[in-house]
Every structure is written in structure tokens, then in C-alpha cells.
Amino acid sequence: MNLILIESPELRGDRVHLSDARAEHITAVLKARLGDEIRVGLLNGNRGRAAVIAIEKGAVELDCRFDEPAPPPPRVDLLLALPRPKVMRRLWAQLAAMGVGRIILTNAWKVEKMYFDSHVLRPEGYRPPLIEGLQQAGDTRLPDVHVFKQFKILIEDELDGLFPDGLRLLARPGEGSSVLDAVPAARSGRVLLAVGPEGGWIPYEEELLTAHGFLPVSMGTRPLRTDTACLALLALAHAKQRREAGYHSL
């Protein structure tokens, strides 16, 4: 954890009493003592510093000052055919750490319907790992999560609302221009990256996506696992956005 995230309802004034894994982290990993300052963040709010004002058995009391802005919001969103729950469970934290604004999960022909019953798709299943990823990366903004069981309805009726402007890219192994060439120079432009199921989209799905503005891009000829592909794509989109925007040294 490079930041301890605190939620507004936990605060009493500037103070918060922690007795969960965060308290454990503060005492056992950071080895903080009375009076030490640690880095904190307010979920979906500012970052800042907190003084350790009390340490009891398994609990810590902090006096917080949230006076630094959060990092700039990610300008990348993800449209992902739901992977196996085991893969999705591991992916949440890594997506939040890399930085993604909105995560849109969808059914597809090659996604097993029963995946949608998994605990990893419920807020109590994905919120903790998302927060873990934010704490790793020093961010405070929880990605938006949307789950669609009907691919056609998502693409035809809902997507323009969720992702009104910006570039839509469809990642697949094989031929196709590089993500690096596709991601635009515009400082404010958003990118939506579509990643298919392990077995790939079926032709009908690819046609629907391209009919709705998705441009095919490739990371080469090696088929990657869903989780590997998502992280690689996010890395490329972020690096290109940073670079084109002239943020060479951020």
C-alpha cells in the first residue's frame, strides 16, 4: 500500500479509527509510531497525510489532512468480455492499479453464462480488490463498473451513453495497426479498449463492434490470456497518452 484509503463515513471530523487490515499495515509494515505521518487518501477524493495519534492493540487513530489532489483521472476505459471468475478476481486490483476509468463487463458467445453468478461481479466482491489496487498505485478514484448480460443491447443501446466520445479500439491478435499508432494525440481524448473472451469474439460480435465504431488494433501475433492482454493494452494506451500530451517526465 502506497496510500491508505479512507471512506468519508469513516471520518469523525478529521479523525478516523482503523482496526482492519489498514491498521495492521500501518503498524506491521510501515512500522509507524505515535506522531509519524503516513500517506492517506479519501476514496474518490483528495490525497494527503495523516498523523498517527493513537496506537492500541490492532487499532490505529489517525488525524487526516486531505489537501493534495488525486492523480489525473485515467482517460482509458475497458470493455471486457467476462473472463473466468478466477481470472477476474485477480484482475480487479491490477486494473485499478494501472488506472482505468470505467470497466464494462459483457457477455459474449464464448463466455459461460454461469460466470455472471460469481461473487466477483458483486460490489462486495470487486470493491475490496479495486481499493487494494488504488492503494498500491496511490490513487483514490474507484473505477466505474458496469455489467451487461446482453452484448447486443450493450453495444446497440447502452454504449453511446457510457462512452459517448473518444476512440473505440478492438484488440485482437494477428494483423492490425498498433495501439501506439491508433491512440490519438488529443490531450482530452478518451480511449475505450475492447478485449474479447479467451476464445475470441465470434464474427457477428466483431461485426457489431466495428459497425459501432471500433477500430481493430493488434499487439502482435501472440494470443494472450485476457488478463495479460488487458494490462498490456492499458500500458500502451497510457504510455501513448502521456507521451503525446507532452508529459515526458511525469
Where along the sequence are the contacts to a copy of itself (CB under 8 A)?
Answer: 2, 71, 90, 93-94, 97-99, 136-139, 175-181, 218-225, 227-228, 231-236, 238-240, 242-243, 248-250
Instruction: Give the distance from CA 79 to its chain's centroid.
Output: 12
Our CB check for a copy of itself shows the closer of 2 and 210 to be: 2
Residue 116 CB, shortest distance to a copy of itself, in Å, is 22
Residue 94 CB, shortest distance to a copy of itself, in Å, is 5
Residue 19 CB, shortest distance to a copy of itself, in Å, is 25
Name the amino acid, one letter, at 12.
R
Q: Are 197 and 171 in contact (CB under 8 A)?
A: no
Side by side, which strands form the sheet with 4-6? 4-6, 37-42, 47-56, 59-68, 15-18
Residue 11 CB, shortest distance to a copy of itself, in Å, is 25
Show the cell assigned to 56. 492500541
Residue 65: phi and psi, rounded to 5, are: -130, 110
| Cα dihedral 219→225→230→236 (10° resolution) | -30
Residue 175 CB, shortest distance to a copy of itself, in Å, is 5
Our CB check for a copy of itself shows the closer of 159 and 195 to be: 195
DSSP state of 116: G
| Cα dihedral 165→78→185→158 (10° resolution) | -10
Residue 70 CB, shortest distance to a copy of itself, in Å, is 11
Our CB check for a copy of itself shows the closer of 11 and 87 to be: 87
Grid look-up 483514490 returns: 140
Residue 193: CB atoms within 10 Å: 25
Residue 15 CB, shortest distance to a copy of itself, in Å, is 27
Q: What sign for the dihedral angle of Cα 147, 100, 164, 233?
A: negative
Our CB check for a copy of itself shows the closer of 140 and 154 to be: 140
Name the amino acid, one letter, at 158.
E
Side by side, which strands form the sheet with 144-148? 144-148, 102-106, 76-81, 191-195, 167-171, 214-218, 177-178
Residue 179: CB atoms within 10 Å: 22
